[in-house]
């Protein structure tokens, strides 16, 4: 487990640079989860990225399976990108750890197109309480592991307002993403309003 997480952290450092902060959270009956913060100030636009470390230590298991396979199953970490300095987004560290723990705690498989709902703002005053899981491979490339282990995928999280989350449940992830794209929505803006859904 430790060896996998060492490789995961090395991949994050290669893609995002050196983390400037990290926090650790342990939930009762689960492994330890860390959230690393990376500040990207290249290109004149400050973006802060938060990445989980620990979710990929175990494969995500089908909740209907009688026994979880200790080797086979999808592995992932979560990455959230936000514009820095506009809101107190560093308070997102514990909520991100909660989301990373959800496969162990709730038996869910986190995959692109799925929604994760915290039931409370992602950080104090945030207009978002849930996220849409995006497609991997853009910001951080998949990390191949020795067979039979599946690769670790780095899944981007896209914050959703309550209206967007409700619309997504009815219309699906693809239509919401198309609406965001058509309206030029800045998904990294921590203060953004809901995209028009009429």
Mean pLDDT of 79-91: 92
Cα gap 177→25, rounded to integer Å: 31
Of 50, 1, 4, 38, nearest to 143 (Cα)?
4
The 8-class DSSP code of residue 184 comes to T
User: Which pLDDT belongs to residue 181?
Assistant: 95
Q: Which residue has the tokens 């996220």?
A: 131
The CB-side HSE value for 15 (13 A sphere, CA atoms) comes to: 20
Cα gap 95→78, rounded to integer Å: 12
Residue 75 contacts residue 153 (beta carbons within 8 Å) = yes
**pLDDT tier, 161 (very low <50, low <70, confident <90, very high otherwise):** very high
Taking only the tens place, the pLDDT of each residue in 88-123 is 999 999 999 999 998 888 888 999 999 999 999 999
Residue 31 contacts residue 76 (beta carbons within 8 Å) = no
The 8-class DSSP code of residue 29 comes to T
Cα gap 10→19, rounded to integer Å: 11
Tokens of 168: 């997504």
Instruction: Classify 176 as helix, strand or coil.
Output: helix
Cα gap 107→193, rounded to integer Å: 32
Residues 132, 137, 140, 144, CA torsion sign = positive
* pLDDT higher than threshold 90 for residue 1: no
* pLDDT higher than threshold 80 for residue 65: no
Q: To the nearest whole number, what is the mean pLDDT of the chain?
A: 89
Residue 101 contacts residue 77 (beta carbons within 8 Å) = no
* pLDDT higher than threshold 90 for residue 64: no
Q: Output the pTM of the full model.
A: 0.92
* pLDDT higher than threshold 60 for residue 44: no
């Amino acid at each position: 487990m430790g060896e996998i997480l060492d490789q995961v952290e090395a991949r994050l450092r290669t893609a995002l640079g050196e983390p400037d902060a990290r926090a650790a959270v342990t939930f009762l009956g689960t492994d330890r989860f860390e959230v690393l913060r990376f500040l990207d100030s290249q290109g004149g636009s400050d973006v802060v990225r938060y990445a989980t470390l620990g979710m990929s230590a175990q494969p995500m298991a089908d909740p209907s399976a009688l026994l979880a396979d200790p080797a086979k199953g999808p592995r992932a970490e979560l990455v959230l990108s936000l514009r820095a300095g506009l809101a107190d987004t560093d308070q997102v560290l514990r909520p991100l750890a909660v989301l990373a723990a959800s496969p162990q705690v709730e038996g869910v498989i986190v995959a692109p197109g799925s929604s994760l709902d915290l039931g409370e703002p992602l950080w104090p005053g945030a207009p978002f309480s849930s996220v849409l899981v995006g497609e991997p491979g853009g910001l951080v490339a998949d990390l191949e592991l020795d067979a039979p282990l599946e690769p670790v995928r780095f899944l981007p999280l896209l914050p959703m307002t309550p209206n967007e989350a409700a619309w997504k449940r009815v219309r699906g992830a693809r239509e919401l993403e198309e609406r965001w794209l058509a309206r030029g929505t800045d998904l990294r803006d921590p203060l953004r309003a809901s995209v028009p859904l009429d």
